Amino acid sequence: METLTLHPTEADAGTRADVWLAARLENLTRSAVQRLLEEGRVTRNGKPLAKNCRLSGGEVLTVSLPDPEPIDARPQDIPLDVVFEDGDVIVVNKPKGLVVHPAPGHPDGTLVNALLYHCGGSLSGVGGALRPGIVHRIDRDTSGLIIAAKNDFAHLRLAAQLQDHSLARTYECIVVGGLREDAGTVDAPIGRHPSDRKRMAVVPGGRPAVTHWEVLARFPGRTHLRCRLETGRTHQIRVHMASLGHPVLGDPVYGKAVPGLQGQCLHAAALRFTHPRTGERLELSCPLPEEFQAQLRKLAGQC
């Protein structure tokens, strides 16, 4: 059983414990956090914490994670574009169209199935039976770099870097329209859409979400951006850009589909993190996919 020690600050005083924990334990849903609280696995200064209890700020929380569930997903021989790999970590350049983990409607043929085959079953179990090794996720129709952990030691330390924002994720995207400024930050909470549970939205009381963006190139009616995530909410860049009135090009959910373009023009281009065992600071990148480059060439030709 693994344990985590967390330190709410005075600014967190008055926040419900389950809400605060769910915002920081990015690999666990709020319902999973509530189960931990109900089972007495979260203590405050050594005493079990109730799920509806509010933080006082300055206390010490200890989270005892249950032993990982057995892995149920089956290995499948699916080609992988491996950017980095050692005994603890594997970083893959995921193509568009590849689902990250098994889910209803996608029982196999996912990145997890491919990783289980490639790694010989050596993946962490912290993410549960259907998400072994997965430290963070990217959408099916978003391409680019994703990290998986080969053991629980690596997984928990990478998850901690997600929480303290030292694991830096940089994306490139093309958005509709022209932004007035050359750079900016969207600091807007994200939660389930109030009337469409399949979508996310900027909503009061949502989980904190921060996206930093800068303009790389401007074209007629389009802008090429670099985005850096400070948090990692579901569909974060897509939701934040749409909230500005500049949805990601080709986004069928928050914008409009584009004929000949599979999903949104969004690519996880770079990662920067500390290796969980060696302490080495790693900086990894991968080129834009051909489909993305083709869109840029087309836009450049219109200038």
Which CATH number do you get for residue 107? 3.30.2350.10
> Final residue of a domain: which of 141, 163, 185?
163
Separation of alpha carbons 41 and 274, rounded Å: 28
Is there a single domain that holds both residue 105 and residue 57? no
Q: What is the pLDDT of residues 190-242, one digit of tens each?
A: 988 877 767 899 988 888 999 999 999 999 999 999 999 999 899 999 999 99
70 in any annotated domain: no
pLDDT at 181 > cutoff 60? yes
Q: Which residues are catalytic?
A: 139
φ, ψ for residue 118, nearest 5 deg:
-65, -40
Q: How many domains does the chain have?
A: 3
111 in any annotated domain: yes
275 in any annotated domain: no
In the chain the beta strands, taken as DSSP E runs, fall at 2-6, 42-44, 47-48, 61-65, 82-85, 89-94, 143-149, 168-176, 183-187, 190-192, 200-202, 210-219, 222-229, 266-274, 281-285
Least Cα distance to 232 among 156, 170, 144 occurs for: 170
> Final residue of a domain: which of 163, 193, 226?
163
Q: Residue 110: give the domain boundaries.
A: 82-163
Answer whether 128's CB lies under 8 Å from 82's CB. Answer: no
117 in any annotated domain: yes
143 in any annotated domain: yes
**Helix axes of 30-38 and 17-24: crossing angle, nearest 10 degrees:** 130
Is there a single domain that holds both residue 185 and residue 137? no
Is there a single domain that holds both residue 193 and residue 294? yes
- pLDDT for the residue 82: 98
Is there a single domain that holds both residue 180 and residue 194? yes
Q: What is the pLDDT of residues 22-71, one digit of tens each?
A: 766 655 667 778 888 998 999 998 889 887 889 898 889 998 877 655 54
Indicate the pTM of the whole model: 0.77
